[in-house]
Structures are given as structure tokens and as C-alpha cells.
Homo-oligomer: A and B are copies of this chain.
Amino acid sequence: MKNSQLYKGSLNTIIMKLLEEQGRMYGYEITQKVKEITKGELNITEGALYPALHKLEADGLLDVEVEKVDNRLRKYYKLTEKGTTENVNRLAELEEFIKNIQTIVNPKLSY
């Protein structure tokens, strides 16, 4: 993956946004979804994803349900109530951040 350091810090917001949209998802599903949406340009590594999911869960923002499908384990995550609230804030912050960056690197597009 190129420009990987750029998305530092935005992974948590991406995860939460997808969970808000999809209701619930398991880890591997999240990586595939992001790959699909970005046409292969953004690939979330497992070493980044799983620790992030665990931290969000530990922080009370996600709930987890373990299921066995085709004899393979899946851990389905969904937003808690706290997570839903927090998601709104983080999305707002991300939008604000993007707006600021745009103002700097592409003044023409900012109005």
C-alpha cells in the first residue's frame, strides 16, 4: 500500500463508520470492504486492524459476538451506544480535518 502513513489515525474512524453503515461486521470482512470501496487502493493490514478492534472494544465503543460459520471463527463487531455517539464526533473531526488540509494544499477548492 502506498502513502500508508497518511491514514494514521483515521483507521478507527473508518472502522466505526463502516459498522454504523453495515450494522455489524467481522474483521476480515472490514478489510475486504475497504479494499472493495477504494478499488484496492487502501489495504488495511491485520496487524493494524485487530489491535484497533480490541482497543475500541476495551474502550467500550464496540461490542463483540463470536460465531462459527463453516467451522471457522468469526468475531462480529457492532457499535455500542457510546460508540454511536463517539462515531458522530469522530466523523465531524475527520471532515473538519479534511477541510483544513484541502484549504492548505488546494486553496482553489476551498470556499
Contact = CB atoms under 8 A, between A and B. Distances in A.
Interface of A: 2-3, 5-10, 13-14, 17-18, 34, 37-38, 41-42, 91, 93-98, 100-106
A14 B95 contact: no
Contact of A97 (B3, B37, B95): B3
Contacts of A91: 105
Given A9-B5, A9-B6, A98 B101 contact: yes
B6 A104 contact: no
Contact of A6 (B3, B5, B18, B94): B94
B104 A38 contact: yes
A21 to B, nearest CB: 8
Nearest to A8: B8
- Nearest first, the 8 A-B pairs at minimum CB distance are A5-B9, A8-B8, A3-B93, A38-B100, A6-B97, A6-B9, A17-B105, A3-B97
B10 A6 contact: yes
A63 to B, nearest CB: 21
